[in-house]
Amino acid sequence: MKPFVLPLFLALAVISTGGAARAEPTLDKVKRTGSVVLGVREASYPLSYLDGDKKPIGYHVDICRRVTEAVKAQLGLAALEVRTEVVTSKTRIPRLLDGGIDLECGSTTNNAARQTQVAFAPTTYVASVRIAVKKAAHIGKLSQLDGKAVATTAGSTSVQLLKARVQGRDIKVTELFGNDHAESFKMLESDQAAAFVMDDNLLAGLIASSAAPKDYQILPQTLNTEPIAIMLRKGDPEFKALVDRTVKAMMESGEVGRLYAKWFQSPIPPMNAALDFPMSPVLLSLIKFPGDDPAEAFRPEE
């Protein structure tokens, strides 16, 4: 009798299925461990950053902490340990997928490519991607960056946006990548780069907390408009429903508006300076009619 040979395609399917075990639902994981882990950023002002004592603070950190309160209530826990882990643009999705963090409370753009891997809460901030330069450089538009070095953060969407804008035009730039936003800004600060391309709120926060805020300006040209949201694991409907319900309730009660005023329009650490960023009409609309549409559904503000 001939030995039975498993067809190659079937064998591969079995191996594939075994290697991709379904992730434990987040609420089950939290109930089992008694803890929840928030992914935070080092310098994503004012959404998520570390203060002088290395404590994570910010607009999205506050919203995430409200979500953890809802988790505790739904699970009926007497106590819930809330831990934090600093992530970067490169590590945030891998750490979410491997269960290292349960929510990413940073400055992540919700786009179609990422939605194939992860899920997003309703949009809580809308950023315009712009360019920061030193006033002394006398750069007023994108074309004046020809032949110059431009900094951005590795793993962010700004790289693709800049490439798309210069493609087909007689503009050549050298890209420099920082591991995080603070490192990218240092390239501009030290004149390694002539410009830093990033979300306008992050640029404003980094400039406000710099040694010489008046030395910088953010160019008016918008490269793209991007919805920013809290990120969670895909394929976890019960946790997604809890997060969405909590964020929508915060929007309806006015709590999101109050948190926005606290972080975008009032003095904040570490320099006790206000960004003076009023809420955009797009975000006002999204608070009235919440949703988790990706960036592809938005058009740049010209």
The per-residue pLDDT for 3 is 42
End-to-end CA distance of the chain: 74
Distance of CA 273 to the CA centre of its chain: 22
Q: Are residues 218 and 143 in the same domain?
A: yes
State the Cα–Cα distance between residues 189 and 199, nearest whole angstrom.
Answer: 17
The per-residue pLDDT for 300 is 53
User: Is residue 13 one of the residues assigned to a domain?
Assistant: no
Mean pLDDT, the chain, as a whole number? 90
Q: Is residue 18 very low, low, confident or very high in pLDDT (cuts 50, 70, 90)?
A: very low
Domain of 234 in residue numbering reads as: 22-126+227-297
Neighbours of 139 (CB within 10 A): 19
User: Is residue 119 one of the residues assigned to a domain?
Assistant: yes
* Pick from 151, 43, 110, 146: nearest CA to 286: 110
The answer for 234, left when phi > 0, alpha when psi is -120 to 50, beta otherwise, is: beta
Q: Which of 119 and 169 is assigned the larger pLDDT?
A: 119
Q: Distance of CA 65 to CAs 26, 250, 292, Å?
A: 16, 12, 20
Please say which residue of 176, 198, 225 terminates a domain: 225
Q: Are residues 215 and 261 in the same domain?
A: no
Residue 160 burial (C-beta neighbours within 10 Å; 0-12, 13-18, 19+): middle
Q: Are residues 274 and 199 in the same domain?
A: no
Examine the pLDDT at 90 and tell me if it is beyond 80: yes
Please say which residue of 206, 225, 244 terminates a domain: 225
pTM, two decimal places: 0.79
Q: Are residues 40 and 173 in the same domain?
A: no
Q: Are residues 171 and 36 in the same domain?
A: no
Q: Are residues 244 and 122 in the same domain?
A: yes
User: Is residue 4 one of the residues assigned to a domain?
Assistant: no
* Pick from 298, 152, 120, 142: nearest CA to 225: 298
Please say which residue of 166, 195, 225 terminates a domain: 225
The per-residue pLDDT for 299 is 62
Give the number of domains in the chain. 2
Supply the CATH number for residue 183's domain: 3.40.190.10
